Amino acid sequence: MSSPSHLPVLLDRVVALLAPALDHEGAVLVDATLGLGGHSEAVLQRCELARVVGIDRDPAALELAGRRLAAYGDRFTAVHAVYDEIPDVLAGLGLTAVDGVFFDLGVSSMQLDVRERGFAYSVDAPLDMRMDDTTGPTAADVLNTYSAAELTRVLRDYGEEKFARKIAGAVVRQRETEPFTTSARLVELLYAEIPAPARRTGGHPAKRTFQALRMEVNDELAVLRRAIPAAIDSVAVGGRVVVESYQSLEDRLVKQAFTAVTRSLVPEDLPFVPEGHEPALRLVTRGAEKADADEIATNPRAASVRLRAVERLRPTRSTSGKGAA
């Protein structure tokens, strides 16, 4: 089996955004997308009063991160769950609220680098793409069972693929002869169906289709749509939610959720905001922050990152506690 590598994106900036919320005894950070644990390790090193609850749906990631972070003892707790299950995870640990929640969205370095997982289009591998490879349908199942209309929807909505209908029709025709099982055959189809001028712009011609299949297999947007409000509700006063997104659909959803909770609901022509009507949270970042040229040169995966953060200013009924266990 191939081995994963790991270079956390915007590591110093993420820790800097989280640190003010974690600078007290009993502080708790939920790393909702643990992966190989690079961001969690940095928090444990630099925020000595904090402990980390690391969530991941991928059992392999939990095992590798658990070994990496074992030296921190009971300051680190690993939980096998999907990140929209944050309320259940906290309840299971006896936590009423936490001080930070961090998301590093999309496919992890580990999943891309381990060829057998089927996430990468650059090598031939089984079309799996499940983040939790113990359950659920694979990318091959999607390709071999969805109707042309369903495949078109997936490719258009999740991959923003202009040639979605053309690709879907070709998939349906070809699978009648032989089902799709590996990535190389799908990549070959995409080269054949996407016109040459379009192939020369916008990166690898398989990028959008592979992204769309991965998001469908893992129900990523629906999970994120539930997870961001759950994270916001889970942080105590002074707590922060920090999110790294890597494509426009995710970032748009995060932006909308953050805007909704940081906007005052009083009429704009009112000369002041009455006490008790202030927004419950504030934006910590100005728009979406990006990686600089130096980081992108070192880690090409940082090129598309968009980083946003919010901080809770006042409690609601669901966040009246603190993050101490």
pLDDT of residue 323: 44
Separation of alpha carbons 268 and 215, rounded Å: 38
Give the confidence band of 276 by pLDDT, cuts at 50, 70, 90: low
- Note whether 234 and 208 are same-domain residues: no
- Note whether 106 and 137 are same-domain residues: no
- Note whether 98 and 164 are same-domain residues: no
Per the structure, the complete domain to which residue 106 belongs is given by 11-110+220-319
Residue 117 lies in a domain: no
- Note whether 165 and 245 are same-domain residues: no
Separation of alpha carbons 81 and 259, rounded Å: 27
Domains contained in the chain, number: 2
Q: Is the pLDDT of residue 317 over 50?
A: no
Separation of alpha carbons 5 and 109, rounded Å: 6
Q: Is the pLDDT of residue 198 over 90?
A: no
- Note whether 229 and 198 are same-domain residues: no
- Note whether 239 and 250 are same-domain residues: yes
pLDDT of residue 122: 63
Indicate the annotated binding residues: 37-39, 56, 83, 104, 111
pTM of the entire structure?
0.85
257, 230, 218, 89: CA torsion to nearest 10: 160
- Note whether 290 and 246 are same-domain residues: yes
pLDDT of residue 121: 64
Indicate the annotated binding residues for S-adenosyl-L-methionine: 37-39, 56, 83, 104, 111
Residue 302: count other Cβ atoms within 10 Å of its Cβ: 21
Residue 175 lies in a domain: yes
Domain CATH code at residue 163: 1.10.150.170
What's the mean pLDDT in 18-44?
A: 97
Q: Is the pLDDT of residue 109 over 60?
A: no
18-22, 25-29, 115-119, range with the lowest pLDDT:
115-119
pLDDT of residue 111: 46
Beta bridge partners of 55: 79
Residue 190 lies in a domain: yes
**pLDDT tens for residues 49-91?**
999 999 999 898 899 999 999 999 999 999 999 999 999 999 9
Q: Are 243 and 309 in contact (CB under 8 A)?
A: yes
Specify the DSSP class assigned to residue 100: E
Which of 166, 193, 217 represents a domain boundary (last residue)?
Answer: 217
Give the confidence band of 324 by pLDDT, cuts at 50, 70, 90: very low
3-state secondary structure of 39: helix
What's the mean pLDDT in 309-314?
A: 96
- Note whether 172 and 262 are same-domain residues: no
pLDDT of residue 301: 86
Residue 75 lies in a domain: yes
